[in-house]
Structure 1
Amino acid sequence: MSDSSSSVQLVTSLRALLAELSPGDRLPSSRDLVQRYRVGPVTVSQAIAMLAAEGAVVTRPGSGTFVASRARTGGDVADTAWQTVALTDRAVDTRPLTDPLGPPPAGTIPLDGGYLHRSLQPTRVLSAALARAARRPDAWDRAPASGLASLRTVFAAIAGGGVTPDDVLITTGGQSALSMAFRAIAGPGNPILVESPTYPGALAAARAAGLRPVPVPMDADGVRPDLLADAFAMTRARLLYCQPAHHNPTGAVLAPERRRQVVDAARAAGAFVIEDDFARYLGHGTPVPRPLVADDRDGTVVHLTSLTKPAAPSLRIGALVARGPVMERMRAVRMVDDFFVTRPLQEAALELVSSPAWERHVRALATALRERCVELTAAVTRELPDWTVTRPPTGGLHLWVRLPAGADDTMVAGAARQHGVAVSAGSRYFATELPAAYLRLNFAATTDSAELVEAVRRLGRVHG
């Protein structure tokens, strides 16, 4: 029998011994344990080390081994009920961010989620960029709180207009930027206007900050400015969260004539607009409209963008762009939260977007996303004729599909899971009541287009 298997058996025996002792009691010496359990000294040392790693015993050189205080063995369970009272009612609701059905089983085709399949990610370019970044002499030095100046320059150029590097704050991805901006601009109990439907992560971040999401209806051309003005007047909100380009989940692009109207409505209300520009590099070949912040001269717009969606989930690099005291407030929140974004990842992001390979990746990604979008739209139209694709998007990663009258989106999502397809129920995207039942279908998370077609065939069985 090996030493490792003998030590595991000895640990079992010693646990029984510990159950008979009290905290602070001394265990028999190693020599006594060797004789009592007929094992070697090495086996005893390994077993004691395993129990110490579990926190069951404490070794004191020169004194021996002792039963740890509050040592738990067998089926003992800690009583943490007191924490419910201590934590009060400030729960963080993550339900909009998680699938209530849990992780899908192996073999499930993913039409949910919000990231690219590995085959669409620039993994080789990323690996090379990270390797080059790690070789820099200052790679592990502390980074500036606002981010590397060179990377801020890149994001300033992406935003366009009169944006300068001083107007940019580097963040750990888009979700962190949302949370930071919400907490910097509004206080607990304040309303925040959101498009209806909207990104569930924004709803979760707003509620975690103590804000009250108030929905503003949108149509195929984006949020409705007339209803937006009414919402500002009725709620006295000082914050609007919106996605003007390739909106998640609908794919809508804010109409040109509405862009100025939205900013003007916020400006008249003395409010900020948080522009989530997550899809800047997710167009399908047609030009993505310039950011709202590029035409903003009053500091009304706080721009948010990220490299995560067009690159890879673990490239957690994004940016906030703003002018005036609001930027100072967000920098202060950054300092309190985490001081700065890890320098090697910033360096790797800079290497990535400065490489000619990045532009090639963006062009190839546009083609791949367009082809997948067309393929999924055609398959849904063919196999599920009473499901309605609201409008085929010209960018982004998703189709927004309206279900037949009377359908329950959560029940359809559950049935789809049973047939081996994971989809996102539309109810996750609404701050209040649903006007109809929808599903969001991701066409970028599957292995290839053939898998998309197979997924729709499976959904056809759900429909039937």
Structure 2
Amino acid sequence: MNDDSSAAVVADSLRKELNRFPAGARLPSSRTLVERFGVSPVTVSRALAALAAEGLVVTRPGAGTYRAAEDAGRPRTVDTSWQQVALTAEDPDAAPRVVDAAGVLATLAPPPPGVIAFTGGYLHPTLQPERALGAALARAARRPGAWERPPVEGLTALRAWFGREAGVGPAQVLITAGGQAALTTALRALAPPGGAVLVESPTYPGALAVARAAGLRPVPVPVDAEGVRPDLLADAFAASGARVFFCQPLFQNPTGAVLAAGRRRQVLDIARAAGAFVVEDDFARRLGHGGPLPSPLIADDPYGTVVHVASLTKPTSPSLRVGALIARGPVVERLRAIQVVDSFFVPRPLQEATLELVGAPAWPRHLRAVAAALRERREAMLAALRHRSPALVPAAAPAGGHHLWLRLPDGADETALAAGALRAGVALAPGRPYFPAESPAPFVRVTFADTSGPEEITEGVRRLALALAGESVGRLG
């Protein structure tokens, strides 16, 4: 059991015992609690801090910990019924704002105990560069001026680092608090209120959530094994009047497709002819499984059509929320203004730590280790599917990313399957939230990055096969 879970156990136990102490009474000493629970002083300190944050106890340095007043930690009951009117009373001519975070939360919520997570959107803790991150943060904290206010655009050295891959200078780069924040800023900056935004179909649910929360109207453009279909993209621009197209040309989420070389120029030309921007979400740039990668779309764009989103969160840690917005032309100032209004700037210590991380000799070694680990996990999942559920094996294995997109048999109920899989001990994501309109077929997305390795993946697929058999029996019956 780690320190955080141990602290939670101690806090829960003390919380249940607080009624034994009158208000203002002193609780047992930290030394007594250490001996009683058999934990470290740090664990006891964390448990008491949690109770103090809830207003249940008061800690007095040098004197001990005391139970708080009777009503200190008790939440106040208020009538919030009026908010149901305020949150829905909008201009009837405007597109409704729909704030639905379910698709995003599905990748953030930890599974119940004993459940294998085929839903995680980040690397398993054993694959995260925890030691390198700790060392980078420690070195960054000692840098002169590390705690001073950074430029609102971000540190020049970090902007230059992100810009090199895109073929631009630091003046075209803004540092953001991760890829999701960058995407939010981009869509708010580029799409008119109530307007349409073209998206790949299927696509990343977080993009759909951002668009709808901003009052925008997502319009689907179907993808196939070679990425978005240019013929349908041109039709969608003409029919919708959209001025923004959101896409993931590299290891698309959820299909894993890479935009074919012959389509790259077509996409840029179609968008330019429509007077529109292409928002390129390059989230998987450092999640390849080995082998050469195509350059970002922005590197082939001399006209300022592409607004590029980059992030270091996926190949490192969920808590390293550092990304970048890269663009050419006046749009940079629009992006900068919106980011400043929203969040001022990314904390300087985090930017300094990122520079330390990507500049260390361990960085390229880490990326090679991630590529090998993802490749191993992908092959383990494919092998297990061939053994247990060969009908689910995709026609082509993705060459990067952290998931597989599985087409279910016609008539399958993906929601029922996900529920049955959870009962069987494996969590997966139904495909419906990935489509901005009606889904053409049943799908599920299964991730392999947030697993401990092939053994856990093999067991998870076994449980999935049992759930699929149960769903089929229920449907036929």
Offset of residue 5 of structure 1: 7.5
Partner in structure 1 of residue 158 of structure 2: 151
Question: C-alpha separation between the residues in 1 aligned to 2:142 and 2:331?
Answer: 36
Checking the alignment, whether the CA contact within 8 Å between 1:246 and 1:393 is kept in structure 2 is yes
SS in 1 for 2:245: strand
Paired residues for 1:145-224 under 5 Å: 145-160=152-167, 163-224=168-229
C-alpha deviations, 1:105-163, integer Å up to 9, x for none? Answer: 10100111210001111111111001100112311110111000000010011223xx1
Relative distance call for 1:249 and 1:5 in structure 2 (3 A) is closer
Amino acid at match of 1:10: P
SS in 2 for 1:137: coil
What's the Cα RMSD here?
2.3
Amino acid at match of 1:362: L
SS in 2 for 1:201: helix
Checking the alignment, whether the CA contact within 8 Å between 2:403 and 2:447 is kept in structure 1 is yes
Q: In the alignment, does 2:17 pair up with 1:10? A: no
C-alpha deviations, 1:80-119, integer Å up to 9, x for none? Answer: 1112223335452212223399753101001112100011
Question: C-alpha separation between the residues in 2 aligned to 1:418 and 1:238?
Answer: 44
Q: In the alignment, does 2:279 pair up with 1:274? A: yes
Question: C-alpha separation between the residues in 2 aligned to 1:146 and 1:381?
Answer: 49
Offset of residue 220 of structure 1: 0.1
Offset of residue 463 of structure 1: 1.9
Question: C-alpha separation between the residues in 2 aligned to 1:272 and 1:150?
Answer: 27
Question: C-alpha separation between the residues in 1 aligned to 2:466 and 2:19?
Answer: 54
Paired residues for 1:358-377 under 5 Å: 358-377=363-382
Paired residues for 1:284-323 under 5 Å: 284-323=289-328
Which stretch has the larger CA shift, 380-389 or 301-310?
380-389
Q: Could you state the TM-score of these two structures normalised by the residue count of structure 1?
A: 0.84
Partner in structure 1 of residue 39 of structure 2: none
Q: In the alignment, does 2:473 pair up with 1:454? A: no
Q: 1:132 aligns with which of 131, 139, 152?
A: 139
Question: C-alpha separation between the residues in 1 aligned to 2:362 and 2:132?
Answer: 7
C-alpha deviations, 1:24-64, integer Å up to 9, x for none? Answer: xxxxxxxxxxxxxxxxxxx9x956x5347448xxxxxxxxx
Relative distance call for 1:7 and 1:247 in structure 2 (3 A) is closer
Partner in structure 1 of residue 81 of structure 2: 81
Question: C-alpha separation between the residues in 1 aligned to 2:204 and 2:257?
Answer: 13
Offset of residue 375 of structure 1: 1.1
Q: 2:69 aligns with which of 33, 50, 58?
A: 50
Partner in structure 1 of residue 433 of structure 2: 428
Offset of residue 374 of structure 1: 1.0
**Aligned residues with identical type, % of pairs:** 59
Relative distance call for 1:420 and 1:280 in structure 2 (3 A) is same
Relative distance call for 1:298 and 1:105 in structure 2 (3 A) is same
Amino acid at match of 2:154: G
SS in 2 for 1:195: strand
Partner in structure 1 of residue 413 of structure 2: 408
Question: C-alpha separation between the residues in 2 aligned to 1:6 and 1:279?
Answer: 49
Question: C-alpha separation between the residues in 1 aligned to 2:150 and 2:122?
Answer: 28
Q: Could you state the TM-score of these two structures normalised by the residue count of structure 2?
A: 0.82
Amino acid at match of 2:79: D
Partner in structure 1 of residue 342 of structure 2: 337
Question: C-alpha separation between the residues in 2 aligned to 1:423 and 1:124?
Answer: 30
Which stretch has the larger CA shift, 107-116 or 80-89?
80-89
Question: C-alpha separation between the residues in 1 aligned to 2:361 and 2:453?
Answer: 26
Please identify the structure whose Cα radius of gyration is greater: 1
Gaps of 5+ in 2: 1-15, 26-62, 90-96, 470-477
Question: C-alpha separation between the residues in 1 aligned to 2:349 and 2:261?
Answer: 39
Amino acid at match of 1:360: R
Checking the alignment, whether the CA contact within 8 Å between 2:408 and 2:443 is kept in structure 1 is yes
Question: C-alpha separation between the residues in 1 aligned to 2:404 and 2:110?
Answer: 22
Question: C-alpha separation between the residues in 1 aligned to 2:162 and 2:154?
Answer: 11
Question: C-alpha separation between the residues in 2 aligned to 1:314 and 1:100?
Answer: 14
Partner in structure 2 of residue 24 of structure 1: none
Question: C-alpha separation between the residues in 1 aligned to 2:138 and 2:468?
Answer: 48
Relative distance call for 1:378 and 1:143 in structure 2 (3 A) is same
Partner in structure 2 of residue 25 of structure 1: none
